[in-house]
Amino acid sequence: MGCASSDQKHHKDSKEHDHNNSANSNTSHLKRDHRKQNNQDEDIVIAQYDFQPASDSDLQFKKGDRLKIINDNGEWWLAKSLITGYEGYIPSAYVARVYTLEVERWFFKDLSRRDTERLLLAPGNKPGSFLVRESETTKGAFSLSIRDSTPEQCDVVKHYKIRALDNGGYYISPSTTFPSLQELIKYYSNDGLCQKLGSPCKTGSPQRPWAQDEWEIPRETLKMVKKLGAGQFGEVWMGYYKNNQKVAIKTLKEGTMEPEAFLQEANLMKQLQHERLVKLHAVVTNEPIYIVTEYMANGSLLDFLKTDDGHKLKLPKLIDMAAQISEGMAFIERKNYIHRDLRAANILVSDTLHCKIADFGLARIIESEYTAQEGAKFPIKWTAPEAINFGTFTIKSDVWSFGVLLTEIVTYGRVPYPGNGFFSLGFRFPFRRV
């Protein structure tokens, strides 16, 4: 009996070993996530998402395909498919190098603590959702971040430092060590910390990077699908570029504004690149002029705050949205620009509730102050008194507008100073409880 039992156990272990090798062919790095691989392995990547080409130079692939990298400069890499043998360009954000942690759905390489909390608290995630990121403070260490829920308060994110052992391996508590991060994740998926580890943090597919040489594009490459809004000088549409990349398209009504001024906005947006500013992709320079930008699924902050989902946001999330906007405005200030039209209607919101500053139609570069031309129109309720009275704008003018924007956020999009069509000198507004 004893010999038979031993043989059966050995046979079972062998079958499990073979099954694991077959099932995890793309993740054979589990026990060696930080070992040095040869140069050939370092050039191999695994597709994390499906990719459909938009031009003849792009390389099509499906999730799980392996590709060999030929040139890894920039956002677009030259690669060869190990499935088809074809060569072409691929978006680097869609692939991960083999034998690295990047192939794990729960690993986020370059992510700050604050952005971690934003991702985990975004719609689509729930208590138990988690991710692992590189530590901001300790080189070689990692952090495990978990979304937690308590009856007394709204969901929060808790962080646990993962330390490395001198002889290899990792631990959160010194009493329990693991040979790899994968084993650590497996253990706490069953045992748990503040929560048992559930699903990796959901983020959706990364945005397709824009080709660097596609700045002035033909109108025929754009397809207008849904009108999102209209302003003094034109309209904003959701559409597609080359039928496969969703974009926002801003149009200019012919005769309502000098084309040069409209294109000046485009050139300004092109210069100001920051994660909290809406990214400009391309322009159509023949009238009617179009500006093509990244698409933000939830539209303007003003409209979103008035929706059912917007009304569900708690104060900590509202404060975080304000913090995101302040990050973008701090960048604009460092570049010696002023926005001049900062309000909730000009903030756009993504599907993960990331906020970005848009509509640079009034923005100007300054030395210390800027005096508006005679006849210029201002959004009165958001404009600082000195700008209204004298047409003088400084960074401080944007700070005033930001203060008014804060009232829009905490009142879920209510019009500032309701009931007041104009102001009298010395008038004091009544106190209103939020």
Q: Residue 180's CB: how many other CB atoms inside 10 A?
A: 18
pLDDT > 90: percent of the chain: 34
What is the mean pLDDT of the segment spanning 237-263? 82
Residue 27: band (very low, low, confident or very high) from pLDDT cuts 50, 70, 90: very low
Common-topology check for domains 104-190 and 219-294: no
**Known catalytic residue: 341?**
yes
Task: Read off the pLDDT of residues 308-323 as tens digits, 9 standing for 90 and up.
Answer: 999 999 898 999 999 9
- 344/307 Cα distance (integer angstroms): 14
pLDDT score at 430: 59
Residue 133: band (very low, low, confident or very high) from pLDDT cuts 50, 70, 90: very high
pLDDT score at 409: 97
Residue 159: band (very low, low, confident or very high) from pLDDT cuts 50, 70, 90: very high
Residue 335: band (very low, low, confident or very high) from pLDDT cuts 50, 70, 90: confident
Mean pLDDT value across the chain: 80
Task: Read off the pLDDT of residues 217-232 as tens digits, 9 standing for 90 and up.
Answer: 899 999 999 998 887 6
pLDDT score at 19: 40
Say whether 382 sits in a helix, a strand or coil: helix
Greater pLDDT, 273 or 1: 273
DSSP 62-122: -TT-EEEEEE--SSEEEEEETTT--EEEEEGGGEEETTSGGGSTTEESS--HHHHHHHHTS
pLDDT score at 427: 54
- 120/200 Cα distance (integer angstroms): 9
pLDDT score at 103: 85
What is the mean pLDDT of the segment spanning 110-115? 88
Region 301-410: CATH code: 1.10.510.10
* Percentage helix, strand, coil for the chain under 3-state DSSP, each rounded to 5: 30, 25, 45
Q: Are 134 and 150 in contact (CB under 8 A)?
A: no
pLDDT score at 23: 38
Q: Are 211 and 221 in contact (CB under 8 A)?
A: no
CA dihedral 17, 18, 24, 25 (to 10 degrees): 140
Is CATH 1.10.10.60 what the domain over 219-294 is classified as, yes or no? no
Q: Is 250 annotated as a binding residue?
A: yes
pLDDT score at 330: 95
| Helix or strand run (H / E) with residue 47 | strand 44-47
Homologous superfamily (CATH) of 28-102 is SH3 Domains (2.30.30.40)
Q: What is the DSSP letter of 223?
A: E
Least confident of 278-287, 337-346, 420-429: 420-429
Domain 104-190 fold: SHC Adaptor Protein (3.30.505)
What is the mean pLDDT of the segment spanning 52-65? 86
Helices (H), 289-340: 301-305, 308-311, 315-334
- 179/23 Cα distance (integer angstroms): 21
Residue 29: band (very low, low, confident or very high) from pLDDT cuts 50, 70, 90: very low
Catalytic residue among 33, 341, 359, 398: 341
| Helix or strand run (H / E) with residue 287 | none
Any idea where the domains of the chain sit in the sequence?
A: 28-102, 104-190, 219-294, 301-410
Written as one letter, the residue type at 324 is Q
Angle between helices 315-334 and 113-120 (to 10 degrees): 140
Task: Read off the pLDDT of residues 345-387 as tens digits, 9 standing for 90 and up.
Answer: 999 999 889 999 988 655 664 445 555 555 555 678 888 887 7
Q: Are 157 and 145 in contact (CB under 8 A)?
A: yes
